[in-house]
Amino acid sequence: MTRLIYVDDSGDPKFGWIVYGWVECTPAGWRMALREWLELRKRLWRDYGIPPGQELHTTHYAQGRGRISKHFPERYIHDGVDHWKDFGRDVAAECLEVLKNCPDIRCGAVARKTSATGSEYEEEKAGVYTKLLNRWNDEHARDGTFVFVSMDGDGSAQKYFKAHRSLPLDTRHVIEDPMFHDSKRSQWTQMADLVAYSAYMHLDRHVRNKFAWDWYVDFISDTPPELI
């Protein structure tokens, strides 16, 4: 099955995790999946005052830091205090429900536990992505199909170009270099961000993340992110 894959990264060298999460669809399913998400964005505007063009960066709104609502709902105001964390986590749950229930969207994540820091962390992160990319290439080579990968960013991360260009052309089923999209303008990249965040929260079992420990297995996959 030919696929379009949208990838984002998560993790933190301070806590020893490298995470890549993604959403994918077929070319034929792309517009139906996008329509499901855009219908969600309409509901978020109606119910939560979140403009359809507002970036949904999970780390910000799920932790209560992102002021994404233009008309903060009264039900999240208690004793004169705006409860942004409760608000953001309910928003995330609604977004995750769409990813779970849309038949045209599939999601996944891989991760690695590491003690590397600084440049060594970045090198290992590049290695994790290269391993993931080779896996996708091998899957599609077996099936005689192709995959096109898009990512969050501005294209300045050379490790991703290097990974794609290291694939032997004679057996390459990953089309082109990765396409980069500014997450502020890409609904698909924001979906991938939510998957990557949920995978990281599942793995980094710090008490501060308890609210999201089970998001990945409740909404994304019955099994935890694969360690590679």
Give pLDDT tens digits for 51-69. 999 999 999 999 999 999 9
Check pLDDT > 90 for residue 213.
Answer: yes
Q: What is the DSSP letter of 157?
A: -
User: Which residue ranges form the domains of the chain, and what is each CATH number?
Assistant: 3-227 (3.30.420)
pTM recorded for the entire structure: 0.96
With residues binned 3-state (H G I as helix, E B as strand, rest as coil), the percentages for the chain, rounded to 5, are 50, 20, 30
User: Are 110 and 7 a contacting pair, CB within 8 Å?
Assistant: no
Spatial separation of the C-alpha atoms in residues 69 and 198, rounded to whole Å: 22
Average of per-residue pLDDT across 186-213: 96
pLDDT, position 156: 79
The reported pLDDT for the residue numbered 123 is 96
pLDDT (mean) for 168-179: 97
How do residues 3-26 score in pLDDT, each as one tens digit?
Answer: 999 999 999 999 999 999 999 999
User: How buried is residue 141: exposed, middle or buried, by Cβ count under 10 Å (0-12/13-18/19+)?
Assistant: middle
Share of the chain above pLDDT 90, in %: 96
Residue with tokens 């991760």: 111
User: What's the per-residue H, E or C state across 18-52?
Assistant: EEEEEEEECCCCHHHHHHHHHHHHHHHHHHHCCCC
pLDDT at 188: 98
Tokens 């855009």 sit on residue: 38
| Beta-sheet pairing, 106-113 with 226-227 | parallel
The confidence score (pLDDT) of residue 1 equals 75
How many Cα atoms within 13 Å fall on the side-chain side of residue 222? 0
